[in-house]
Amino acid sequence: MTADKPAPLIATPRPTLSVFAAIMIVTGAIVGGGLLTWPSLVAQSAGSVDGMFSAWALGALLAFIGALCYAELATAFPHAGGDYHFLTRAYGKDVSFFFAWARVLVITTGSIALLSLVLGDYLAQWLPLGSHGPSLYAAAVVAILTAVNMAGLRESARTQNILSSLLILGLLLVAAASFAAMRGLPSLPAAGSAMPPLMGGALLFALLALSGWNEAAYLCAEVKGGGRSIVRVLLGSLGLVVAVYGLLVVGLWGALGFDGLAHGSAAAIDAIKPLLGQTGEALVGALVALAALTSINAMMLVAARTQYALGHDWPILRFLGRWNAQRAVPMAAMAVVGLLSLGLVGLASKHRSSLQWLVDFTAPVFWFFLMLTGIALFVLRMRYPHATRPFKVPLYPVLPLVFIGSSAFLLYRSLLFALSHQAIQASVAVVVAGFVAWALLRLARGS
């Protein structure tokens, strides 16, 4: 009788990312293709200078509070599954499946497809390829970045370091040009004057501009330096984006005045064109394209880790949970992200408005699960009171309750937005389709 051979070791994520590389990935996830539209949207919704700056200040404060809550979750329960893993530990894999379903099928892959088309539109202006040029460029971008990410975490991280660094430098250049175009700062509200009621839309847009910091949770098992490093990643990436946006908003306001910022069709171009001319317009276009490219690469990386975690919980999806130790990549999961994104690019080439509609109006699903993640902090403290927590959110339970409240506000506003456009069926359709998929997986597992 031969002795049993030892079972082969199963590869798992290991700490291979530097803090700087992780910050660059999360920065790319926060700063998306619409980065230069947020200042005007916040200003227009606020209706006044003090309302505008109040919205940005409160939005930044709420984002930092959320990051502190995630810092506790990520250091206590580090896992490549990020939010999915926290939800699974708190509520079970049946609840977390619906989060993964919406995220994998629409939220991340749909955003990747739309941003690829934004980049395709830009490239088609430089080298036209006919009526299908933008779609061809978009498909090429998805294919190339999928290949880069499958080549290994080192390659994708290096790519992100370059893209995010160039993007931040470009935004700082726009801010500097805006400051140079100033003729003195516009007058501020009188000291002690009553603050107007903060418009919900202004705060909503400020929070949306700063959203994406939670993607750091998907890197918490792969950042060097232990649990405290992910705290630096969360706060460092968010702090970097807040600082850049702050300079940009002040620069645009100073160059254009409040009315010019709030009602201009292209505030960044309007602010720097007098100083840089056509070069300024080209710079803004290049920044939008670079932001799209940076965000696509970041979202591919984190989306694959959601699928990786999903593959560990559902036997029929086990192939998604295989980790390539040499490349530090969930290869099958990354390939599926690329294929789904390519499929949505194909769909959007004929019905781009339909895909945009689907991504926009599934926002309530995302914000609902973000709120559940905040509640999970309380659940996990009660369920695992003796778990090691290298970082604890300060002022507990006040700050977690504030985070839950801000997530509920975003859920409420996104529901109002969907209802006002008579499109709540998009969220319902995603949930119903997810329920069907969940039932099929349950049947396949025999339970």
Per-residue pLDDT, 131: 82
What average pLDDT does this structure show over 211-230? 91
Mean pLDDT value of segment 167-180 = 93
Domain-wise residue ranges, the chain: 19-185+198-352
Predicted confidence (pLDDT) per residue in 93-118, tens digit: 999 999 999 888 888 998 898 899 98
Assess whether pLDDT exceeds 80 at residue 138.
yes
- Name the pTM for this structure: 0.91
Give per-residue pLDDT as tens, 427-438: 788 888 889 999
Query: What is the reported pLDDT for 187?
Result: 61
- Residue 199: which pLDDT band, with cuts at 50, 70 and 90? low
Look at residue 188 in the predicted model and tell me its pLDDT. 58
Q: How far apart are CA 407 and CA 402, in angstroms?
A: 9
- Which residue shows structure tokens 């499929």? 343
Higher-confidence position of 199 and 262: 262
Find the DSSP H helices in 12-48: 19-30, 38-46
CA distance 18 to 286: 28
pLDDT band at 185 (very low <50, low <70, confident <90, very high): low
Cis status, amide bond into 134, omega within 30 of 0: no
The pLDDT of residue 416 is: 84
262-300 burial, b for 16+ CB within 10 Å, e for fewer?
A: bebeebbbbbbbeebeeebbebbbebbbbbbbbbbbbbb
CA of residue 419 relative to chain centroid, distance: 24
- Residue, of 233 and 363, whose pLDDT is higher: 233
More confident residue, 250 or 273: 250
> Which of 17-31, 201-215, 269-283, 422-436 has the least mean pLDDT?
422-436
As a whole-number percent, the residues of the chain with pLDDT over 90 amount to 63
The model's confidence at residue 348, banded by pLDDT at 50, 70 and 90, is confident
The percent of residues in the chain predicted with pLDDT above 70, rounded, is 92
Average pLDDT, the chain: 88
- Superfamily of structural domain 19-185+198-352: Amino acid/polyamine transporter I (1.20.1740.10)
Q: Which pLDDT value is given to residue 417? A: 80
Instruction: Kindly state the average pLDDT of the residues 358-366.
Output: 78
Residue 446 has pLDDT above 50, yes or no: yes
* Residue tagged 């990312």 (tokens): 17
Q: For the segment 144-166, what is each residue's pLDDT rounded down to a tens digit?
A: 999 999 999 999 999 999 999 99
Q: What is the average per-residue pLDDT within 292-296?
A: 94
> What is the per-residue pLDDT for 401?
98
Radius of gyration of the chain (CA): 22
Least confident among 43-52, 68-77, 416-425: 416-425
